[in-house]
């Protein structure tokens, strides 16, 4: 009887610790719904950008990518982002997909413009620069470096 009580208490402690870890992971990864206003951006390519990726302004996270779809008429990637409601963005804000490094993930970097008018929910950011194909650039540099000895 004594070992049964100890096993029950040990099992309850393990479940409680697992619940604390799950709660911490859920809160630290922003897995819960993001609040803010939605904006759309059309990019020619979004290589490496995943749903849930950061949206940053001056290196500070101000939102996240909440959706991706292909526009079947223009064949561009339409990205939906959610931006913190405390951040007002001018209507001439530009967006580009940037990498955190050679092996890092991609995120959307916003650069505010100087307009007096602000973007509102449902607006589209007009000025966008898609992701750069790093592997293509590296291979182009490697293969072009060795091809100039035809004298």
CB 51 within 8 A of CB 30: no
pLDDT for 69-104, tens place per residue? 999 999 999 999 999 999 999 999 999 998 887 677
pLDDT for 2-36, tens place per residue? 778 888 999 999 999 999 998 887 776 655 556 89
Compute the residue count for the chain: 151
Which H/E stretch holds residue 129?
Answer: strand 127-129
Distance CA 77, CA 72 (A): 9
Q: Which two tokens stand for residue 129?
A: 């620069």
The rounded percent of the chain whose pLDDT value lies above 70 is 87
């Amino acid at each position: 009887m004594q070992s049964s009580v100890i096993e029950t208490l040990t099992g309850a402690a393990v479940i409680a610790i697992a619940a604390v870890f799950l709660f911490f992971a859920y809160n630290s990864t922003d897995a819960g719904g993001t609040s803010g206003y939605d904006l759309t951006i059309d990019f020619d390519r979004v290589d490496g950008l995943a749903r849930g990726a950061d949206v940053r302004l001056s290196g500070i996270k101000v939102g996240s990518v909440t959706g991706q779809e292909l526009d079947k008429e223009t064949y561009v990637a339409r990205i939906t982002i959610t931006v913190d409601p405390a951040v007002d963005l001018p209507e001439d804000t530009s967006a580009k997909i940037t990498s955190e490094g050679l092996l890092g993930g991609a995120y959307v970097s916003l650069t505010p413009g100087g307009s007096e008018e602000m973007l509102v929910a449902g607006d589209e950011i007009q000025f966008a620069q898609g992701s750069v194909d790093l592997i293509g650039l590296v291979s182009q540099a490697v293969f072009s470096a060795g091809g100039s000895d035809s004298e």
